[in-house]
Amino acid sequence: MSHASEDKPRFVDNFAQKLRADGVDAWLDKWEMLPGDSLVDKIFEEGLKEADAVIAVLSQFSISKRWVKEELNASVVSRISKGTRIIPVVLDGCEVPEALRTTLWEPISDTANYDRSYKRILASIFGTTLKPPIGEPPSYTAAVLANVNGLESIDNLVLKSSCEFLLENPDDPIDPKDLFGEANPAAPPKSEVMDAIDVLEDRGYFSVSRSFGGGPGHWGCHYRVRVVQRHPDQPGVPGCTQARDPAYSATPLPITPTRSANPSPPPIDLV
């Protein structure tokens, strides 16, 4: 650690102790040097030469010190010759020396409270990252239907959930709030559900009735899933049941349209 002696009591001593407690073999002159030792040999041959990283504590005191300047010059040479990492730590908002201005430094404004900066410095020493891990994608982004051409995963989810509702409630219109409202914590955002309903209506899967008003909890529409005939003697069987009951024909007949303006959608296969 390159520093000025004036910075020891207010920062350097505690900082070096924290580093050692976290597995870093911090080299501090008062721990490594005894009366009669050669300053040049100890600092430049033992300290800097063997260091994997050099922490330069820059302050209003250190930037004017001759020894600190010499250590920084040696550190820059070491970085060029063998890849030693230089980590400038800036106190007092002082000016960063020219040799380090192209190196990202860590400013510390409060020497009694610097946990966030300390974690960043520690990560730099060990070559790790503070980037949060990637979690699991939301359930609604998974592919929930077999290949339904032209539908995104969110469209598939809305279609599948609506089909499951239809199997249990064949005579009831669907209020999207009941399937995708706040009571369902795994539901996608409302705006994405409404966009999916528009897509499925355009593709002919849904017949939608819209309304206005009703307050902030009102979603503004109800819809029905259009049905198919699976077999000549089984009229009105929901297209959603194909994967649930092998007794139905694998090749459904065309959907009986509810609105002549919409094309017949392809059959729906659940996985």
What structural domains and CATH numbers belong to the chain? 5-126 (3.40.50.10140), 139-241 (1.10.10)
For residue 256, pLDDT over 60 is answered with no
Distance CA 265, CA 228 (A): 10
Find, among 250, 135, 145, the residue nearest to 203 by Cα. 145
Between CA 227 and CA 256 the distance in angstroms is 7
Q: How far is CA 90 from CA 25, 224, 226, in A?
A: 21, 65, 67
Q: Which residue type does 152 have?
A: E
Place of tokens 């849904």: 206
DSSP H or E segment with residue 53:
strand 53-58
Over the stretch 214-253, which tens digit does the pLDDT of each residue have? Answer: 677 789 899 999 865 444 444 444 445 443 444 433 333 3
The answer, yes or no, to whether residue 63 has pLDDT greater than 60, is yes
2 or 71, greater pLDDT: 2
Note whether 2 and 54 are within 8 A (CB): yes
Residue type, 167: L
189 vs 195: CA distance, rounded Å = 10
Percent of the chain with pLDDT over 70: 68
Amino acid at 195: D
Which pairs with CB-CB distance under 8 Å and at least 24 residues apart come from 130-136? Answer: none
The tens digit of pLDDT for each residue in 136-161 reads 877 666 555 455 667 888 888 898 88
pLDDT of residue 89: 93
Q: Cα separation of 145 and 151, whole Å?
A: 10
State the number of CA atoms in the 13 A half-sphere of 117 facing the CB.
Answer: 20
Average pLDDT value over all residues in the chain? 76
Cβ-contact 91, 56 below 8 angstroms: no
Rounded to the nearest angstrom, the gap between the alpha carbon of residue 227 and the centroid of all alpha carbons in its chain is 41
Residue 197 — pLDDT band, cuts 50, 70, 90? very high
Instruction: Provide the token pair at 171.
Output: 């005579």
Least confident of 67-81, 92-106, 129-143: 67-81
